[in-house]
């Protein structure tokens, strides 16, 4: 079996995971499905898009094909529970080198630092609870 599913929209384009948004990285550009692809409007997705742009990466919202996923350098899910979760393979095809890629790992590290209140620039995104 598999750990997660990639869901296609009614047109056959990638929409999301079963409970997460999806991003692909190709040539240092992040790609994610657009709102018309029946995606979940995720706070974590929006957070990662802002964070990626702040780190100097281009983020493109466009229809994604299964072939684009197979040829991606990196791929990852985002979500409240998933946070930033690397995707290593799809349909037994390794994504990139089959390991979490450098952009995914950088975004994961930055996201965790934000969530733990270590990035003052993003403090307004947090509500502290005890």
CATH number where 87 lies: 3.20.10.10
Whether 115 maps to a domain, the answer reads yes
Whether 1 maps to a domain, the answer reads no
pLDDT tens digits, one per residue of 41-64: 889 999 999 999 999 999 999 999
Between residues 1 and 85, the one the model is more confident about: 85
Confidence band, pLDDT 50/70/90 cuts, at residue 128: confident
How far is CA 105 from its chain centroid? 11
When mean pLDDT is compared across 1-10, 15-24, 79-88, 100-109, the lowest value belongs to 1-10
Beta-sheet strands, E only, within the chain: 6-8, 14-17, 21-26, 29-32, 58-61, 74-79, 83-86, 89-90, 93-94
What is the number of domains present in the chain? 1
Report residue 43: phi and psi, to 5°: -65, -40
pLDDT surpasses 90 at 1? no
Structural domain span for residue 105: 6-125
Confidence band, pLDDT 50/70/90 cuts, at residue 16: very high
Whether 130 maps to a domain, the answer reads no
pLDDT surpasses 90 at 130? no
The Cα–Cα gap between 130 and 128 comes to 7
Whether 104 maps to a domain, the answer reads yes
């Amino acid at each position: 079996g598999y750990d997660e599913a990639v869901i296609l929209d009614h047109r056959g384009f990638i929409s999301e995971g079963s409970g997460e948004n999806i991003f692909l990285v190709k040539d240092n550009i992040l790609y994610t499905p657009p709102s018309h692809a029946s995606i979940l409007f995720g706070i974590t997705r929006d957070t990662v898009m802002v964070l990626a742009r702040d780190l100097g990466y281009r983020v493109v919202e466009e229809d994604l094909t299964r072939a684009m996923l197979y040829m991606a350098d990196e791929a990852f899910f985002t979500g409240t529970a998933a946070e930033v979760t690397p995707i290593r393979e799809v349909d037994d095809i390794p994504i990139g080198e089959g390991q979490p890629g450098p952009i995914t790992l950088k975004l994961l590290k930055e996201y965790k630092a934000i969530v733990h209140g270590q990035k003052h620039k993003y403090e307004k995104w947090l509500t502290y609870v005890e």
